[in-house]
Amino acid sequence: LLEYARICDELEGFPDLSFLAPNSVPQWVNPTLAQSVSEIVRNQIDGRSTVQEIGDRLHWPIRQTRLTLAGLFQAGALRLSTDQELLALTLQEMEMRQFARACQRLRAWIDVCPPGPLHPEVAQVLHEEWVSGRLTASMRGMHPRETRRFLRRFDASLENPTSAVHHWNEAVQIHPDDKLCRMHAMMLQYAEDNRADRPTVRDLLALARVFKEDGSPRRGAPLLLIAVQKNPEGLGQKLEVGMGLLEAGEPEHGGPWILAATHSLVDRGQADRALVPLRALIDAAPTSREAKALYSKAKRASTQAKKFRRNLAVTAAIGVLAAGAALVKMRSDQRWQDKYDEVQALIDTPDAALAALRKHFKDDESLVVMGLRQRIEKRQLDIEGEKRQDWLDAYKAVHDSVRTTPPDQALDAIRAMPEPPRLLLLKAAFPPITDLYLLLGENLQEELSEQGEVQAYSEAQAAAEQRLLERCDATEAALLDSEQRYAQIKTLKATLDSLRQTLAERTQTRADLEELDRHHKNLARQDELREMAVKAEEQGDYERALHFYQEILGGELDPRVREFIQPQAETLTSILLAIDEARDLAHAGEHELALALLDERIENKEHLGRIIMPWKVETFPTGVRVTTSKGKTYTTPFEIETATGESLELTFSSPGFLPETRSVDRPQDLAIFLKRTPENSWDSAGRVDAIPVPYQDDHIVVDRGGSIARLKRGQGVVWSATIPTLSGVARAPVFFPRGSDKLLLVTEEGSAWLVHVADGGLEGPWELESPPMVGPLVNSSAIHVLLANGDWAQWKSSLQPKILSKGTTPYDEESCEAYRYGPPNGMQVLRSRVGEDTLLKSRFTGWTASVTEDGLIVTPPDGKGGFSTQVEGDWTYMAWEPAGDTCPDGRLWLSDGKGLRSFIPRVQ
């Protein structure tokens, strides 16, 4: 009881605690101002808990909790959460499915949220919470009034009638006994067409009847108007709709329904039932002629009307007798009434009224006179109350102006404030005028507290504090000497001095914060530069790393940090000098010397693999596209830079050449000879000794394995055949004279065959009984072959030869020696012989083909460009074919271990 009494006494110091509702969430403004409460209490104020929850955890009643927190609010240590903070707390509790806690914060948010539709983003977030079911679960602890406030604003923001119906249907489920929620739901259901749950007339009348029974018939008017639109059919429904609208103050809407229903009652002979509704309609609408006429008709038809007239006559007789008796007493009381009226006429001037009352009714103690006296005294109190209120209004006006006007104007308003009026009956105190002086200091303190914590680099905050300092000086300067005697002025000056000191401390604090911030930024920048230097060093970019270290050394630096950074910068300087010398050697092609120099001059071997060095890439021919394994593309010749320990794969590609890939594990100059893509290739099983035989745009080729084929330019083998032979074919087949399409082919063991060029058909063999020595050779009439036994064999058109007589020699020895393996078919041929020349220059076009250790090198007459290709194993011969339509620079044939290949010197 003592504790309760103490709390009640302290509560009297806080005239209004309504702002501190149980579901409010306090937030810290300045915890240092809360030293008056224990640490346990301070720990419970976490910016997330409501007043009720704080009290529950402290095991305090709500009175004690609100009293303690009110003290902290008054001290400026706390403030209430804003609507944005409350909404965020509500959403967090919903996310954690703490719906009871979410409900309390939602109710607080509804109370403090600005009026009007919700912000579109807030409405969208709440709509998503509604769809998830969390919002409806959180609303189950709300008061119906709060639910209605929230849904009206929510629906106004969404502007979706369908969603509004769902919202209010859910509200009816949450608050089944709330009539207003039901009315809203019915009205929205009716507004939407084609709804299965649209209310019936019976439902609308039932709810309107409930409002009527509760003494609020006007609330049912919207429901009755909806019922009118649904056209009620029954006589009872029509009469109930009309009477309900009449009681709701809507006679213009309810009258037609009452008239329609009563017409039916009168026509049915039930005029008694029509009298009451018609009487009510006439009272509400006196100008309704139709109602009066129908009422007269019903009254005449009613049996009760006769009884009513008889009773009225009796009542009138009794009244006449009473009036006669009253007339006797009237004259005796007239004089008393005149005196009473005289006093009553003076009631607006209470002093004169009291004097008249004492004159005429000095000893009258009747209740009427006592009542008149009380009325006069009450009027006196009212007048004094008005005087007091006028003074208080003037006081409040000055009070408010002090908060908003400059100091000199505020002081003028205080000085112009009149003294409080004198009161005779009303016993009430007036606030001292001098208390207004204190507002000057309190205003400045409030403005300072609104600035919040000191912020570094805040020009707006610094300017506001400077304005406060100037107002402090202006306020003190505007005080008069005559005002110095007031105690409130001394308090004001002390407040101003305290404010000046606080402002000076805040200025110093801001300077300290800015200095500390610059120091932290400098340290952060140094750390950032150090990280960038280390990263650049790891990437081999020592010049950029040295730049970062030098930037660190050029700023404000702790001596210990300088001792750590300086050697690293010197090491990088030494590395860069060594790198410059090594790069000069690398540009000159001395890569081994460059790497040796780096290995000698750089102590930390970890740096060696990250140093960037240049190297050159050249190709034969030039203009080759080179793609690295890193995705970069170059065109030869070019210079590239890579780390000394970096591995790189290069892919060379050029039209008309075979692609080639090279892997490089350190910087080194490359010279690559690209291998030309052959125009035609024949991967024969045996060695190719015979020169290709041109036929139209194609060529007939044979090998020592007995294979024969027809090659088409760019398409490969047209047909192929195999001749059974042990020694194979080393001699080029020849066509029969006079435009024949048949070839004569002779094997090394002495077998003759006919070959049809069109399809590769074979005829033979014809055994010659001796291997060939020279030929076959062809002239204008026949083909000749010199056999090993010294005979000459002659063919003219058939497979069977003619053996010429001994001593017959169709060719001289020089021709036999030159065409030992048959005619060159118009080509310039060079066969491989050990120790002899490996260079063949075309007498047709001037192009030169040379077999070297790197392969076959082909160059044009001017020596610029050309191509190369790989020679597989031992080569047999090279042959230049004359220029033609398909090969303007001729055609080069190469026979080696890979078979037979042809090349066009210049890519078309």
- Give a yes or no: residue 41 inside a domain: yes
Lowest mean pLDDT among 200-209, 508-517, 679-688, 735-744: 200-209
Confidence (pLDDT) at 311: 59
The model's pTM: 0.39
Average pLDDT, the chain: 82
Question: Helix, strand, or coil here: 660?
Answer: strand
- Give a yes or no: residue 3 inside a domain: yes
Confidence (pLDDT) at 305: 47
Gap between the Cα atoms of 337 and 227, Å rounded: 56
First-residue to last-residue Cα distance in the chain = 114
The tens digit of pLDDT for each residue in 163-178 reads 888 888 888 888 888 8
* Percent of the chain predicted with pLDDT > 70: 92
- Give a yes or no: residue 26 inside a domain: yes
Q: Which domain holds residue 327?
A: 305-340
Question: Which of 51, 80, 109 lies at the terminal end of a domain, its last residue?
Answer: 80
pLDDT classification of 8: cutoffs 50, 70, 90: low
Left (φ > 0), alpha (ψ -120 to 50) or beta: where does 637 sit? Answer: beta
Residues 181 and 111 in one domain: yes
| Residue with tokens 């050990």, as numbered in its chain | 834
Roughly what angle, to the nearest 10 degrees, separates helices 271-284 and 289-301? Answer: 150
Residues 131 and 158 in one domain: yes
Q: 663 has which bridge partners?
A: 649
- Give a yes or no: residue 314 inside a domain: yes
The tens digit of pLDDT for each residue in 455-497 reads 888 888 889 889 888 888 888 888 888 788 877 888 888 888 9
- Give a yes or no: residue 90 inside a domain: yes
pLDDT classification of 313: cutoffs 50, 70, 90: low
- Give a yes or no: residue 721 inside a domain: no
Question: Which of 132, 164, 188 lies at the terminal end of a domain, its last residue?
Answer: 188
Assign residue 602 the CATH number of its domain: 2.60.40
The tens digit of pLDDT for each residue in 575-616 reads 888 888 888 888 888 888 888 888 887 776 777 777 888 999
The tens digit of pLDDT for each residue in 735-792 reads 988 778 889 999 988 899 999 998 889 998 998 888 998 889 888 889 999 888 888 8
8 Å CB contact between 147 and 168: no
pLDDT classification of 325: cutoffs 50, 70, 90: very low
Gap between the Cα atoms of 155 and 153, Å rounded: 6
Gap between the Cα atoms of 819 and 826, Å rounded: 12
8 Å CB contact between 383 and 426: no
Residues 667 and 600 in one domain: yes
Confidence (pLDDT) at 16: 65
Gap between the Cα atoms of 559 and 361, Å rounded: 106
Residue 628 reports pLDDT greater than 80: yes
- Give a yes or no: residue 89 inside a domain: yes
The tens digit of pLDDT for each residue in 822-881 reads 888 889 998 887 667 788 999 999 999 999 887 888 889 888 778 888 888 889 889 999
Residues 587 and 660 in one domain: yes
pLDDT classification of 14: cutoffs 50, 70, 90: low
Cα angle, residue 685 at apex, residues 679 and 690 outer, rounded to 5°? 65
Residues 94 and 182 in one domain: yes
Residues 111 and 51 in one domain: no
Residue in 711, 750, 708 with CA at minimum distance from that of residue 732: 708
Cα angle, residue 150 at apex, residues 82 and 54 outer, rounded to 5°? 45
Residues 17 and 74 in one domain: yes
pLDDT classification of 894: cutoffs 50, 70, 90: very high
Gap between the Cα atoms of 523 and 509, Å rounded: 21
Q: How far is CA 313 from CA 305, 308, 876, in A?
A: 13, 9, 158
- Tokens representing 39 are 């640490």
Say which residue, 687 or 271, is predicted with more confidence: 687
Residues 171 and 74 in one domain: no
Residue 6 reports pLDDT greater than 70: no
pLDDT classification of 87: cutoffs 50, 70, 90: very high
Question: Which of 157, 188, 219 lies at the terminal end of a domain, its last residue?
Answer: 188
8 Å CB contact between 685 and 703: yes
Residues 669 and 589 in one domain: yes
Burial (Cβ within 10 Å: 0-12, 13-18, ≥19) of residue 117: middle
Confidence (pLDDT) at 879: 93
Lowest mean pLDDT among 122-126, 669-673, 706-710: 669-673
How far does Cα 344 stand from its chain's mean position?
A: 79
Average pLDDT (388-413) is 82
- Give a yes or no: residue 230 inside a domain: no
Confidence (pLDDT) at 558: 74
**Kind and range of the H or E run holding 28:** strand 26-28
Residues 651 and 620 in one domain: yes
Residues 26 and 72 in one domain: yes
Residues 6+ apart with CB under 8 A from 540: 610, 611, 612, 643
DSSP string, 726-762: SS---S--EEPTTT-SEEEEE-TTSEEEEEETTT--E
The tens digit of pLDDT for each residue in 514-531 reads 888 888 888 888 888 888
- Please give the sequence-ordered ranges of beta strands (E in DSSP) within 389-454, or none if there are none: none
Q: Would strands 612-620 and 670-673 be described as parallel, antiparallel, or unpaired?
A: parallel
Residues 36 and 89 in one domain: no
Instruction: Work out the number of other CB atoms within 10 angstroms of the CB of residue 733.
Output: 24
Structurally, how many domains does the chain consist of? 4
DSSP string, 356-404: HHHHHSSS---HHHHHHHHHHHHHHHHHHHHHHHHHHHHHHHHHHHHHH
DSSP string, 511-553: HHHHHHHHHHHHHHHHHHHHHHHHHHHHTT-HHHHHHHHHHHH
